Structure 1
């Protein structure tokens, strides 16, 4: 898949991490029903590889589906085998290299300028600023865009709807959203609440796109 084009088109990556595999799968499918096109299933969730495999079957071969919290080469290979077509890492690691060898694009976790350059050298298509909300928030993205004005940054960590608006306005290619969007749905909680939050975040993206025109 063309990850960078998908990020530019959709601007939102939903991050699903849950202790209940059935609920996590239901969460993925609900997000897709609501129009969230880019979904990442974190490998730190229970039976995450099974969730990815089942989601791939349910969504079909063309829906973008990512594996998150990819820590190394074994995770990258397992995610590929389960049916993920892009990976997301929390840090710069050899998992990036292996994913690229397997033909999967990578959203690589970075924080410092040194990590940004390292991730790019390994072949990352986009750069996940993580944890964004705990280390400067939008002001840190603004600072990074000074020396790196054209790089595709995706802030992740503590991104609520208000922060999503601000990050996009500051030039983020997309935002990654976990608990502010998912809530307790992936642990067996409120699906109706998930639908409401999905619509809220999608509305933020649409409003931003309209203002940019």
Structure 2
């Protein structure tokens, strides 16, 4: 199953997490889970990202962990080997999408234009990452896309905050948003897991009902 529609139903917010030190990986994931968040997009932006991904996959089974910032086929393969349960790209090329669709995991390709949405939809996918959400047009843009293409669901990421998330989540084609505010660098570096848990709990209530 390559389509990630079910992934978008796990939580109103998918934390977009960048971990510099793998020793923080498991505590961050557990703190999010304690707050009711059951999903993480762990970005492949650091040299140790795959180590962190493997630690979460092996030690925090309550969390659905995916690899984000997938730019190449080699990164996708490495993420799958490390235990990724879904894959997210900030954008997508035909060759990258070809490869992602061979891996058997849910895939969230990044799109920013109507043409890109249509191209990904032609490949049989109905769930996509809208990135960068703020600069690309925000809620108004997604509302406009929803008129001619109502069957596609989006996870907007990039410039989304706790304050702006409700404007996205009220749209029928946006079941969740992606955001980095749940795991602030200062909290991670100071081992302030209670702050992350509190932010996670706050995020679960964005749809008006607690999760977890």
TM-score of the superposed pair, with normalisation by structure 1 = 0.87
What aligned pairs does 1:60-209 form with structure 2 within 5 A after superposition? 60=61, 63-93=63-93, 94-171=95-172, 172-178=174-180, 180-184=181-185, 187-189=188-190, 190-207=192-209
- Size of the aligned set, in residue pairs, is 207
Give 4+ residue runs of structure 1 displaced > 6 Å after superposition. Answer: none
Structure 2 unmatched runs, 5+: none
Structure with greater contact order relative to length (CA < 8 Å, sep ≥ 6): 2
Q: Which of 98-107 and 119-128 deviates more?
A: 119-128
**1-structure distance, mates of 2:210, 2:98:** 34
Structure 1 unmatched runs, 5+: none
**2-structure distance, mates of 1:46, 1:202:** 30
SS at match of 2:41: strand
Q: Hey, what does 2:31 align to over in structure 1?
A: 30
Give the aligned CA root-mean-square deviation in angstroms: 2.3
**2-structure distance, mates of 1:41, 1:182:** 11
**2-structure distance, mates of 1:86, 1:32:** 18
SS at match of 1:84: coil
SS at match of 2:27: helix
TM-score of the superposed pair, with normalisation by structure 2 = 0.87
SS at match of 1:65: strand
Q: Which of 39-48 and 71-80 deviates more?
A: 39-48
**2-structure distance, mates of 1:63, 1:125:** 23
